[in-house]
């Protein structure tokens, strides 16, 4: 079984004027939550783990909505306050993911036009301990990998190392490897602007002599809904494809 961890705690100033939580905004007639979950349908034998804001669960019942879509293959963690970053948020799922089972950690506000089962199969066929999906970019919004041949040898957050930007999708052959690496990041206080990022765990895996690779996609295949404008762009693109 593959554990799929979707942390959804980060706040965005782009959506501060919207009444409903970001995950409840509609994209082409479906909520963002439904779109994100459907993106994982091709992966057999999976278990979703959601980390939600407790206030949003109390006021808008997003945990109940997610449960209806994914039951019985889901677990939920609700938090009152923000954490020290996405890495810290993911560590709160330690009781679910600290095992030999594979783990996927993905952004909760994105769609990637790819069959995730093909991505996982690629990582498994190459016997990778960890892997990321990458797309071409040089914008400092993203995290980046430096490659040596087919192997990732360095990762940086908000700082281009190459044209290989991480598309918010992380695979770990064993969830326990992520836990070990994440703890080392925090012990070393390797934060960026006061926040701990998931990408930093890959540098620790490199130091542990783990084999890390990437699955490359085109920029047009990656859709990150970090702003309302990006949602509108995606809807326009989807409408054109239907014509």
Place of tokens 């400092």: 140
Helix (H) or strand (E) holding 202: helix 200-207
Query: Is residue 105 packed enough to be buried (19+ CB in 10 Å), middle (13-18) or exposed (0-12)?
Result: buried
Alpha carbon distance 111, 208 (integer Å):
31
Domains and CATH numbers, the chain: 2-242 (3.90.550.10)
Question: The pTM is what?
Answer: 0.95
Segment (H or E) for 4? strand 2-8
DSSP annotation string for 87-123? HHHHHTTHHHH-SSS-EEEE-SSEEESS-HHHHHHHH
Q: What is the pLDDT along the chain (243 residues), one digit of tens a residue?
A: 999 999 997 666 667 778 899 999 999 999 999 999 999 999 999 999 999 999 999 999 999 999 999 988 899 999 999 999 999 999 999 999 999 999 999 999 999 999 999 999 999 999 999 999 999 999 999 999 999 999 999 999 999 999 999 999 999 999 999 999 999 999 999 999 999 999 999 999 999 999 999 999 999 999 999 999 999 999 999 888 877
Specify the pLDDT at position 12.
63
* 92: its two tokens: 């709160």
């Amino acid at each position: 079984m593959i554990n799929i961890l979707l942390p959804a705690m980060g706040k965005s100033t782009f959506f501060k004027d919207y009444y409903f939580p970001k995950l409840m905004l509609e994209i082409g007639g479906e909520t963002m939550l439904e779109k994100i979950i459907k993106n994982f349908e091709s992966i057999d034998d999976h278990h979703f783990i959601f980390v939600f804001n407790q206030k949003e669960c109390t006021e808008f019942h997003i945990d109940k909505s997610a449960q209806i879509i994914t039951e019985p293959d889901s677990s939920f963690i609700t938090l009152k306050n923000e954490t020290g970053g996405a890495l810290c948020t993911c560590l709160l799922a330690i009781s679910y993911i600290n095992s030999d089972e594979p783990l996927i950690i993905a952004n909760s506000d994105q769609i990637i036009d790819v069959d995730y089962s093909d991505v996982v199969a690629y990582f498994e066929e190459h016997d990778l301990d960890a892997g990321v999906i990458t797309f071409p970019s040089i914008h400092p919004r993203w995290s980046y990998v430096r490659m040596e041949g087919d192997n990732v040898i360095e990762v940086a957050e908000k700082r281009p190392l190459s044209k290989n930007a991480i598309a918010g999708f992380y695979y770990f052959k064993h969830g326990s490897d992520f836990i070990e690496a994440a703890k080392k990041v925090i012990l070393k206080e390797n934060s960026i602007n006061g926040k701990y990022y998931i990408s930093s765990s890959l540098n620790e895996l490199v130091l542990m002599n783990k084999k890390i690779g990437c699955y490359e996609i085109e920029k047009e295949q990656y859709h990150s809904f970090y702003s309302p404008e990006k949602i509108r762009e995606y809807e326009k693109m989807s409408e054109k494809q239907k014509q």
